[in-house]
Amino acid sequence: MTVFQFITFLLIGLGLSFDSFAVSVSIGLLRRDIRFLQACKIAFSLAFFQATFPVIGWMIGNVIEDLIVSVDHWIAFGLLLLIGGKMVYEGLKDENTLSNLNPFKLTVLIALSIATSIDAFVVGITFGFLETPIAFPAAVIGSVTFIASMLGLLFGKNIPAKRSHQSLILGGIILMLIGIKTLVEHLWF
């Protein structure tokens, strides 16, 4: 492997980890009491899916390329809009009746991990077309995503906020904006 290939894989990892970073900031805003091991669990989940999806895409290759490329943005948009909408809804409730969205709940964590990793699946398909060995790029993508997610959780946790419901609203809006960004990028760019 050349230095240029390593830099390319690193840049791909950085690009793919942006959504995971934003989701982590949102979770940090939501759960300011997050502990290190909890943060590791979230970051690991985001990184695991981000590293696994390129491998799956690489294995599947061009068999279903047209199907996935035509709907990947809708899947990510729907998942992020649903979770972000729930966060905004919870944040708009009366402060006394506010029930927190639990980012530690397995279904929520998996949905967030999948939503932020769909682009990585398409990248894996591309690696398959280029006959690029996938193990090292997947490891780089996962490592970069883990680090970005941990930094996002720390950053979100330390942003000053007056009330938890305001944090929920902000985090939900961030997730919905990521979904909209994904949809716009795929439909018009």
Report the pLDDT value the prediction gives residue 74, as an integer from 0 to 100: 82
| CB contact at 8 A, 34 and 157 | yes
Please report, in tens digits, the pLDDT of each residue of the chain (189 residues total): 789 889 888 888 888 888 888 888 888 887 888 899 999 999 999 999 999 999 998 888 756 656 666 776 787 788 778 877 877 887 777 554 434 568 888 998 999 999 888 888 878 887 877 778 899 999 999 999 999 999 999 988 887 655 556 666 776 787 788 778 878 877 887
Stretch (H or E) spanning 146: helix 135-157
Residue type, 129: F
Report the pLDDT value the prediction gives residue 185, as an integer from 0 to 100: 79
Report the pLDDT value the prediction gives residue 99, as an integer from 0 to 100: 46
Report the pLDDT value the prediction gives residue 151, as an integer from 0 to 100: 94
The domain containing residue 166 runs over which residues? Answer: 3-188
Stretch (H or E) spanning 179: helix 164-188
The pair of structure tokens assigned to 5 is: 């290939």
Please give the tally of structural domains in the chain: 1
Report the pLDDT value the prediction gives residue 184, as an integer from 0 to 100: 87
Q: CA–CA separation, 16 vs 132, rounded Å?
A: 18
Q: Among residues 146, 128, 165, 121, which one has the least CA distance to residue 48?
A: 146
Task: Identify the three-state secondary structure at position 117.
Answer: coil
Q: DSSP character for 131?
A: T
